[in-house]
Amino acid sequence: MEKRLSIASVGECMIELSSTGPDSWQSAYAGDTSNTLWTMRALLPSDSILDFVTAFGDDGFSRRQQAFFNERGIGTAHSPVIPGLRPGLYATTLDGYERSFDYWRSQSAARQLAVDRNALRQSLSGRDLIYFSGITTAVMPNEHLETLFDELSAARQRGTRIAFDPNYRSRLWSNQKFAMEVIGEALSLSDIVLPTFDDERSLYGDENPIATLDRVSMSGPSEIVVKCGSDPAFYRLDGDGGTSSAQTVHTPVDTTGAGDAFYGGYLANRLLGRTISISLRDAHSVAAISIQSKGALTPHAKLMSPCIPSKSN
């Protein structure tokens, strides 16, 4: 009997408020690592085990968030419930199809996702892939980072592949030097790294995507994909590299979450054993679909469209 795929995505899922008009808002749930897992849920076989590993509050919003995941085939493993806390909140405002963000996350329960080492270990045990991001690490208290990295390293030693999106957001870090230290440690324990060039240029001063590939390779990851917005993505796998052109979107609607969707499409394809070139081609297709949808979460029906490989392929 073929083994079911098992994936854990670690991080923060927030309440998303998106403007629908003057003083009119609608709510949803979103966050970089949860968005990526959402995309993977649509593209992987239905019997795959996908868990979002975080921490929840004990309020009504947290309970509804947990129900949202469970109703859509995404578990929450052994994520702890922290009394008195609640989900973070952010609001998006569109200017054309580009967006701006405002955040309220100081009381976010997800900051405590590593408070219980045993629970985190159980949540990460037996996975084919664990995915986390620079935002995951940035929102956590410093004293919990060591726990997270210890458990990721232990999972890797047991055979789990670790995928990391540096996703540098300067406002989340106390200073640039500390961000570089934490992200550097995350790179060293990862097998797959998925940086965005604009972020890498902002943090490290990289002159071009090749410089990003060279620098990240020195930390040890064997598989790197550098996303460059609407320009071609650059990749390197076991020392060999190339580029993959993005799809042109003539009628963009909302770029929110497009990069997360791209990475979800890429990782799903790689988990299904597809080559890096095919995986990137289909990741670009997923990103194009995302850009033509409002909000951070692309409807699963659209992600299952004919231009995306079927789950059985």
Q: Is 260 a catalytic residue?
A: yes
- Amino acid present at 25: W
- The active-site residue, picked from 51, 165, 254, 260, is 260
**Using H for helix, E for strand and C for coil, what is the string for the chain?**
CCCCCEEEEECCCEEEEEEEECCEEEEEEECHHHHHHHHHHHHCCCCCEEEEECCEECCHHHHHHHHHHHHCCCECCCCCEECCCECCEEEEEEECCEEEEEEECCCEHHHHCCCCHHHHHHHHCCCCEEEEEHHHHHCCCHHHHHHHHHHHHHHHHCCCEEEEECCCCHHHCCCHHHHHHHHHHHHHCCCEECCEHHHHHHHHCCCCHHHHHHHHHCCCCCEEEEECCCCCEEEEECCEEEEECCCCCCCCCCCCCHHHHHHHHHHHHHHCCCCHHHHHHHHHHHHHHHHCCCCCCCCHHHHCCCCCCCCCC
Active site residues: 260
